[in-house]
Chains A and B, each alone.
Chain A
Amino acid sequence: EDKVVQSPLSLVVHEGDTVTLNCSYEVTNFRSLLWYKQEKKAPTFLFMLTSSGIEKKSGRLSSILDKKELFSILNITATQTGDSAVYLCAVSGGGSQGNLIFGKGTKLSVKP
């Protein structure tokens, strides 16, 4: 069965800390791995990763994929209270062309 596992499920840090969120997967016919940020409402797209070892960066956020070991990490440096959210990892693959397989998410709380 295809699955995506995120860890930790929740995390509390203080402003200025650096955090690393983990996502491991077992998905047939892997195509890509995506990270989303979900605040109170809809998830918003952060990164899409398709190739191993190539880091994607956007400001203080960065992500990398390891297709051999089947995992990805999302790093956030110099965290701010506005980074507080649930971070979702999703993998495109499996048997259905319409299906993104989502992990349960990591709830990040950044305290002042």
Chain B
Amino acid sequence: NAGVTQTPKFRILKIGQSMTLQCAQDMNHNYMYWYRQDPGMGLKLIYYSVGAGITDKGEVPNGYNVSRSTTEDFPLRLELAAPSQTSVYFCASSYSSHGEKLFFGSGTQLSVL
């Protein structure tokens, strides 16, 4: 079972560069999420989606964009990368609302230098 697949696993960006973190799930979940986790901190919600074509901001959306053209895919776009975006990014999905029982991808370690 693939579950939630994230790519890439590691990436180093220079300040001002852009990139897209890919996320795909094969569980037919309607709900998908992007979190970031900074050292010693809990996970913070960046964006979420309740279904194809519907996205909404979470707690820390600035500097990011998302799209949800299909049920399976939920890419996260970083425009004009900044050192403050150095973090571990997790994509997750769930079959119930309110973010419960999340299934997480393996994470992307991003460094912006």
Contact = CB atoms under 8 A, between A and B. Distances in A.
Interface of A: 4, 9, 31-32, 34, 36, 41-45, 48, 88, 90, 92-93, 96-105
A43 B104 contact: yes
B106 interface: yes
A98 B104 contact: no
A96 B101 CA distance: 16
Interface residues of B, number: 26
Across the A-B interface, give the 5 residue pairs with the lowest CB-CB distance, nearest first. A102-B42, A98-B48, A42-B104, A100-B99, A102-B43
Contact of B101 (A45, A97, A98): A45
Contacts of B59: 99
Contacts of B41: 104
Interface string B30-55: 01010000001111110010100000
13 contacts: A43-B43, A43-B90, A44-B104, A48-B101, A88-B42, A92-B98, A96-B56, A98-B45, A98-B50, A99-B99, A100-B43, A101-B42, A102-B44
Contacts of B75: none
Name the residue in B56, B104, B106 with the highest tally of chain A Cβ atoms < 10 Å from its Cβ.
Answer: B104
A44 B99 CA distance: 14
Contacts of B45: 96, 98-100
B13 interface: no
A36 to B, nearest CB: 8
Contact of A34 (B31, B50, B101, B106): B101
A98 B102 contact: no
B106 A92 contact: no
Interface string B9-47: 000000000000000000000010100000011111100
Which of the listed residues B41, B90, B101 has the most CB atoms from chain A within 10 Å of its own CB?
Answer: B101
